[in-house]
């Protein structure tokens, strides 16, 4: 799993270091504070398995080319130029360093004019072969059919997180004896709350089945479709706590009602208790608060809240991390709900 990430002169970040919990990590911050960029660069640098699982012997140039292409496909910079990911106004080279739990390290750099990344440090990186999972903010089950082959053949206006997710969703079902009990529990809970099950036929074709009747996936609520993605990733073994790589999820709360949010947080906590590292980015107070309410120290739950904000003196992005919900600072999500409550009280007193 990922232990830390350090960025210098990369996209919106002048200099930022973040230490990750081995269990749950919740990233919050206002729009424009780089939450999605943080998830994507960590995902990119932990994706070496794609290269290392190939039978041929790998050279450093292969890793360099792979990481360059990976960053471009994930971030889609202007004109597909790597240098567009360089922090505007910086003078030194951009650097990205990621560390993993078994003392593996990868450090890359590039400049404004670079055509490819330069590998500064590679410490046992080839030994990190866990497969990470990235669930983007926008639901994609509704337009998944046929998109995988189109993405591989044509220039598509989707970043590679979608292609990666579609590939994992299209995998066959894992053998039942290899499916963990907590995964079975989560899948059953999702089926019950959605009132049916998503059926995957291959090639991206997905229907929703209630008893013996099937419906178009487009007729199903988007919140249910999001939960269906999680269920399918468990069903295929793409998410296997203790075995799979980090689960990245950008704004999982989108179009999910509070009841579904509670179940989602319960599932993420259970997965983390069984060895799954989770990194989510959120804007939502209810989703954030459920972590605080459902954490169980007796089960050794560990949640780290990372609050991204801009320094008022120099406008640079900073991060403040804490294990305590009440110590989150700044907490714009909670502040906004406090403002809302105060405004309601004022209107009540005026009436």
Question: Would you call the peptide bond into 145 cis, given omega within 30 degrees of 0 as the criterion?
Answer: no
pLDDT of residue 147: 80
- Residue 96: pLDDT band (50, 70, 90) is very high
pLDDT of residue 54: 67
Stretch 305-322: mean pLDDT, rounded? 95
Stretch 21-47: mean pLDDT, rounded? 96
pLDDT of residue 83: 96
Q: Are strands 317-322 and 105-110 parallel, antiparallel or unpaired?
A: unpaired
Place of tokens 């120290």: 297
Domain positions in the chain are: 1-132+245-351, 140-243
**DSSP letters along 38-52, please?**
HHHHHHHHT-THHHH
pLDDT of residue 55: 57
Superfamily of domain 1-132+245-351: P-loop containing nucleotide triphosphate hydrolases (3.40.50.300)
Stretch 303-328: mean pLDDT, rounded? 94
Stretch 239-259: mean pLDDT, rounded? 93
> pLDDT exceeding 70 applies to what percent of the chain?
99
- Model confidence, pTM: 0.94
**DSSP letters along 285-315, please?**
HHHHHHHHHH--GGGT--EEEEEEEE-TTT-
Stretch 1-17: mean pLDDT, rounded? 97
Question: What whole-number distance in Å separates Cα of residue 24 and Cα of residue 90?
Answer: 33
């Amino acid at each position: 799993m990922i232990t830390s990430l350090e960025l210098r002169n990369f996209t919106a970040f002048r200099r930022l270091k973040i230490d990750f919990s081995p269990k749950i990590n919740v990233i919050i911050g206002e729009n424009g504070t780089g939450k999605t960029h943080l998830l994507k660069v960590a995902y990119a640098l932990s994706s070496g398995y794609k290269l290392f699982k190939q039978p041929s012997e790998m050279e450093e140039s292969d890793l360099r080319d792979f990481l360059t292409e990976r960053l471009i496909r994930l971030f889609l910079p202007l004109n597909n130029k790597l240098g567009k990911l360089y922090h505007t106004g910086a003078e030194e080279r951009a650097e990205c360093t990621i560390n993993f739990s078994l003392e593996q390290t990868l450090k890359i750099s590039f400049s404004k004019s670079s055509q490819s990344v330069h590998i500064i440090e590679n410490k046992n990186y080839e030994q990190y072969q866990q497969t990470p999972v990235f669930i983007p903010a926008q639901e994609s089950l509704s337009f998944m059919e046929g998109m995988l082959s189109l993405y591989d053949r044509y220039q598509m206006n989707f970043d590679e997180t979608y292609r990666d997710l579609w590939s994992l969703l299209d995998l066959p079902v894992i053998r039942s004896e290899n499916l963990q009990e907590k995964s079975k529990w989560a899948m059953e809970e999702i089926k019950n709350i959605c009132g049916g099950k998503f059926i995957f036929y291959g090639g991206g074709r997905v229907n929703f089945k209630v008893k013996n009747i099937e419906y178009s996936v487009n007729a199903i609520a988007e919140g249910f479709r999001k939960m269906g993605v999680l269920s399918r990733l468990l069903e295929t073994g793409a998410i296997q706590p203790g075995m799979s790589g980090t689960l990245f999820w950008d704004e999982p709360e989108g179009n999910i009602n509070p009841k579904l949010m509670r179940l989602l947080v319960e599932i993420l906590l259970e997965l983390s208790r069984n060895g799954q590292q989770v990194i989510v980015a959120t804007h939502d107070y209810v989703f954030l608060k459920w972590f605080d309410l459902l954490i169980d120290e007796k089960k050794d739950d560990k949640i780290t809240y990372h609050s991204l904000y801009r320094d008022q003196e120099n406008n640079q992005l900073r991060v403040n991390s804490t294990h305590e919900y009440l110590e989150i600072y700044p907490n714009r999500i909670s502040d906004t709900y406090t403002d809302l409550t105060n405004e309601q009280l004022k209107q009540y007193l005026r009436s």
